[in-house]
Structure 1
Amino acid sequence: MNLFPTFNDVLNSDVLSRLALYVDEPAEKTRKAVDALVYTIIGGLMKRTTTEIGVNQLYNHIQKGHYDGSLTDNLVQVLNDPSRTNSLITQGNDVISHLLPAMKSSIGSMISTYAGIRNSSAISLLGLTTTVVLHVLGRQVRERKLDADSLAASLFEQREAFVNIVPEDLMPRLVDKVGIQQVVAGIAAPARRTVIEPVTRPASSVAAPVSATRTTSTATRPAITYEPVGESEDNGSLVKWAVGGLIAAVIIAGGYYIYQNTQNYSNGNELSDETVVTSDTVQADTVARSLAVPVDSAARTTTPPRAASAVAPTTPAGPSSGTLSQQLTPYLGNAALPKGRVFPLSGVSFQPGSLTMTPGSETAVTELATLLKTYPNMQIQLIGYANDARGDVTNKALSFKRVNQIKQQLVSSGVNYIRIDAIGRGTGRVRSDSASLTKPALRKIDMRVVVK
């Protein structure tokens, strides 16, 4: 089931006009901000539910917060009352701080820049949109009788629609700010909670009634239970308590140590990812075009001979075999050349209208993986263009799926996914520029070097 039409129905023009008045922003900018926030929250929740803790947190917030969909039935009337509107905003911002910790400010900044509204307006809209999203999900939980695992699975059912519907100019920002690279690439999956089976003990003349009672409660809420024993077993009971306490202390100490190391590792990854965002964001298209490597045959023949012996594929890949290595090796080896240069992946192509690679493309992808391993500091951005989409699939969606398929192959070969960004630009035409309509629709894969 595609939830995005439901959001369009709930956040209709009447709702948007009242929100625009509340935040004192133009209606069209408010619409753009709210749409982007829906995509951001759904993407963030998909990422969050890739962990067992995230699955439980989302479900518990919906249950304890009484998000049952009732708000969506009379949202226009609620927004007529400024005090109730403010209450919904406060409630939503509190929830987003728990479900997507430390992201509220960065999301607000991203939406503010993207939609052209004030940062305070973006934060207010974030709170209210979060509340609406949870009510829509809560209605699904109530009507479909979903448990926590089913809710997480239903969220991931939206991934295909999510990739197709997110605007082209928002997707790179969303991927970078919220960190949903693995989600959009199809690598991530919802976590499954660990089910603890209740432990039943053989009935005894003393403990049988107690055991039956404890088994029933354990089935609904797993817990450690201690059963009473006779006076003659006091010493054994004390030993059991002592051993249990010792085990618990060891588990707590081990968990704290793992948590600290996990935090350090996570912080390291976030710093690394932020480096990619900063360096990539400042690259202007004019710089990329001015540094682009020519693709004509004359330019290829002038490549220095010393690069020919660099990284070469083990099997022939047609006319483009070795070209990427010949182009990249002298560039990466020269520290004076700036980052941001764009290289065409001319050896990689797809069958018309499909995700099936043409013969020789696999070898070119393998060559790229080898280069990434040879230069472990290199970080890249794959840029896809397509003009051959068929059926209901758009050129933008097709180009995005193709570059993400390449990314998945590189990750499968052992390259860290953080080093690879992937965006799809459809035909490459820009709607806001009438002159661009005369440009031919593109079908190719480019690679920008973000970090050398």
Structure 2
Amino acid sequence: MTLFASFNEILNPDVLSRIAVYVDEPTEKTHKAVDGLVYTVVGGLMKRTTTEIGVNQLYNHIQKGRYDGSLTDNLATILRDPALTNTLITQGNDVISHLLPAMKSSIGTMISGYAGIRNSSAISLLGLTTTIVLHVLGKQVKERKLDADGLASSLFAEREAFVNAVPEEFMPRLVEKVGLQQVVSGMAAPARRAAVESPVRPVTYGGAPAGRSVATATRTAVSYEPDTLDNDNSSLAKWGVGALLALVVAAGGYYIYQNTRNYSGDAEEVNSETLISNDTAQADTVTRSLAVPVDMAAKTTPKTAAPASTTPGAANPAGAAAGALTQQLTPYLSNPALPKGRVFPLPGVSFLPGSLSLTPGSQATIGELTTLLKTHPSMQIQLIGYANDAQGGLTNKSLSFKRVYQIKQQLMSSGIDFVRIDAIGRGSGVSRRDTSGVPRPTLRKIDFKVVVK
């Protein structure tokens, strides 16, 4: 049974109705909140286990807290007791503060807005859901006899199911709040605990049998053998050290004397050097401010730019795509009256079927988007990917995530701060929850939304 199938079985209608009564929220909203929290906690733990410290912390909390799945066997009965329910909530909130530090408040706010419940209810549900998630993971540890590395690998084995299970309307805020860009795009992997090695000869301790040694960390061999130098050599060494100290003291006195005499002259030189340095820095700043690339100047003034010369009969799709992007965005960004949130296509950006390889004409548009982001330093965008050509075991949703994240990586490599770029994948654009029966076309494209102008 997969991880999310286990949650569906445990969080049955009877359990959810009891949880709703405890937090005094409608059952439907409670169900939505708990579902969102399951995805949030599992995603957060995936991200946490990308570091060795996170792997150890998760495993230790499961072992020390005795999360072995016993709670899930009689959860409905336990939830009848308000005191026991409160204990589970308190325990879970304490654990989440350690595993996902400084995120409890932001998660509560996110779930409160997503499910339409009170923030206090969201925090209580976070604690309860965390306890349930750890019991499900602890049951896997117990039944499969997993160590810390095995637990992290087992958790990441659910990544594909996680990407496909998270509701489309919830994924963008989940990725943003918890920072799951690398997880959902498949760029992250569980950390492996480093094997402890000892580069020196094993150190044996008294009483240990022959051949048995203890080497818990990298050690520097320390010798306790007596000094082999004779007394004469030792005396000579002492005299040499004394003479050296005397020379150092004499040199220090002479240095202080010379500095005292030349203080005023040095001060004047320092002042003049400071002025020169300041002038140079100002000149460099002006030079950098005027060093606008030729391409940028041409793109920002398309009406006055000279027409590009082309070979007769040869197409120039890259230049057309680049100009199209600037022509779309410039009137919108330069008009403060137009509201933020408008979605634009990335013209000319496409991938080879079923792959992460960009077509040759795509780089021009990505470069132009980089220029626009640098020209408008306050602008923040959200890349939105669609894919309908996944192959093998990869889903369209995962492929769309990987593609937009690859574009984000290129923008970051060009100097754009990662916080200005969000990236989400929406698969083919057809919701799996669509039961209308109306045929809808699948999509394969990259759009971007202007979140902040």
2:289 alignment partner in structure 1: none
Question: In structure 1, how many angstroms separate the alpha carbons of the residues matched to 2:182 and 2:71?
Answer: 32
2:77 alignment partner in structure 1: 77
- CA offsets 1:88-107 (integer angstroms, 9 cap, x no match): 11111111111111211221
The residue matched to 2:68 in structure 1 has which SS? Answer: coil
Question: In structure 2, how many angstroms separate the alpha carbons of the residues matched to 1:371 and 1:406?
Answer: 15
* Kept in 2: contact 1:430–1:436 (CA 8 A): no
1:18 alignment partner in structure 2: 18
Question: In structure 2, how many angstroms separate the alpha carbons of the residues matched to 1:436 and 1:368?
Answer: 38
Offset of residue 319 of structure 1: 5.1
TM-score normalized by the length of structure 1: 0.68
* Residues 435 and 318 of structure 1, relative CA distance in 2, 3 Å threshold: farther
* Letter matched to residue 189 of structure 2: A
- CA offsets 1:118-156 (integer angstroms, 9 cap, x no match): 222222221111011111111222233322233223222
Question: In structure 2, how many angstroms separate the alpha carbons of the residues matched to 1:212 and 1:99?
Answer: 43
- CA offsets 1:46-102 (integer angstroms, 9 cap, x no match): 222222322221111111111122222222232233322221111111111111112
Offset of residue 163 of structure 1: 1.4
* Kept in 2: contact 1:308–1:325 (CA 8 A): no
* Letter matched to residue 151 of structure 1: L
Question: In structure 2, how many angstroms separate the alpha carbons of the residues matched to 1:308 and 1:87?
Answer: 73
* Residues 394 and 28 of structure 1, relative CA distance in 2, 3 Å threshold: farther
1:305 pairs, out of 299, 303, 306, with: 303
* Letter matched to residue 29 of structure 1: K
* Residues 197 and 394 of structure 1, relative CA distance in 2, 3 Å threshold: closer
* Kept in 1: contact 2:185–2:401 (CA 8 A): no
Offset of residue 334 of structure 1: 6.4
The residue matched to 2:187 in structure 1 has which SS? Answer: coil
Question: Which one has the largest radius of gyration?
Answer: 2
Question: In structure 1, how many angstroms separate the alpha carbons of the residues matched to 2:347 and 2:141?
Answer: 48
Question: In structure 2, how many angstroms separate the alpha carbons of the residues matched to 1:112 and 1:365?
Answer: 36
- CA offsets 1:249-272 (integer angstroms, 9 cap, x no match): xxxxxxxxxxxxxxxxxxxxxxxx
Instruction: State how 1:317-328 maps to structure 2 within 5 Å.
Output: 317=318, 320-328=321-329
* Residues 349 and 15 of structure 1, relative CA distance in 2, 3 Å threshold: same
1:346 alignment partner in structure 2: 347
* Residues 53 and 81 of structure 1, relative CA distance in 2, 3 Å threshold: same
Question: In structure 2, how many angstroms separate the alpha carbons of the residues matched to 1:307 and 1:326?
Answer: 13
Question: In structure 1, how many angstroms separate the alpha carbons of the residues matched to 2:118 and 2:203?
Answer: 67
Question: In structure 2, how many angstroms separate the alpha carbons of the residues matched to 1:396 and 1:202?
Answer: 52
- CA offsets 1:145-174 (integer angstroms, 9 cap, x no match): 322233223222222221111101111111
1:209 pairs, out of 207, 210, 216, with: 207
- CA offsets 1:207-240 (integer angstroms, 9 cap, x no match): 5536979944x44xx598999969999xxxxxxx
The residue matched to 2:318 in structure 1 has which SS? Answer: coil
1:284 alignment partner in structure 2: none
Question: In structure 1, how many angstroms separate the alpha carbons of the residues matched to 2:184 and 2:41?
Answer: 14
2:61 alignment partner in structure 1: 61
Instruction: State how 1:149-298 maps to structure 2 within 5 Å.
Output: 149-198=149-198, 201=201, 208-209=206-207, 215-216=213-214, 218-219=215-216, 222=217
The residue matched to 1:380 in structure 2 has which SS? Answer: strand
Question: In structure 1, how many angstroms separate the alpha carbons of the residues matched to 2:14 and 2:210?
Answer: 57
Offset of residue 359 of structure 1: 5.3
The residue matched to 1:94 in structure 2 has which SS? Answer: helix
- CA offsets 1:270-316 (integer angstroms, 9 cap, x no match): xxxxxxxxxxxxxxxxxxxxxxxxxxxxxxxxx95147899xxxx85
* Letter matched to residue 26 of structure 1: P
2:422 alignment partner in structure 1: 421
The residue matched to 2:117 in structure 1 has which SS? Answer: coil
Question: In structure 1, how many angstroms separate the alpha carbons of the residues matched to 2:126 and 2:155?
Answer: 19
* Kept in 2: contact 1:389–1:398 (CA 8 A): yes
Instruction: State how 1:128-147 maps to structure 2 within 5 Å.
Output: 128-147=128-147
Question: In structure 1, how many angstroms separate the alpha carbons of the residues matched to 2:157 and 2:433?
Answer: 33
* Residues 203 and 442 of structure 1, relative CA distance in 2, 3 Å threshold: closer
* Kept in 1: contact 2:398–2:427 (CA 8 A): yes
2:362 alignment partner in structure 1: 361
- CA offsets 1:387-444 (integer angstroms, 9 cap, x no match): 6778997765554444334334434555443221123345657899999979866553
* Residues 425 and 185 of structure 1, relative CA distance in 2, 3 Å threshold: closer
* Kept in 2: contact 1:378–1:449 (CA 8 A): yes
* Letter matched to residue 445 of structure 1: I
Question: In structure 2, how many angstroms separate the alpha carbons of the residues matched to 1:358 and 1:145?
Answer: 47
TM-score normalized by the length of structure 2: 0.68
Q: Are 1:120 and 2:120 counterparts?
A: yes
* Residues 8 and 212 of structure 1, relative CA distance in 2, 3 Å threshold: farther
The residue matched to 1:130 in structure 2 has which SS? Answer: helix
Report which stretch shifted further, 428-437 or 366-375: 428-437
2:234 alignment partner in structure 1: none
* Kept in 1: contact 2:181–2:405 (CA 8 A): no
1:451 alignment partner in structure 2: 452
* Residues 35 and 162 of structure 1, relative CA distance in 2, 3 Å threshold: same
Q: Are 1:33 and 2:33 counterparts?
A: yes
* Residues 431 and 6 of structure 1, relative CA distance in 2, 3 Å threshold: closer
The residue matched to 1:322 in structure 2 has which SS? Answer: helix
Offset of residue 347 of structure 1: 1.1
* Kept in 2: contact 1:308–1:322 (CA 8 A): no
* Residues 210 and 37 of structure 1, relative CA distance in 2, 3 Å threshold: same
Question: In structure 2, how many angstroms separate the alpha carbons of the residues matched to 1:307 and 1:166?
Answer: 48
* Kept in 2: contact 1:211–1:227 (CA 8 A): no
User: Unmatched 5+ residue regions in structure 2?
Assistant: 229-300, 309-315
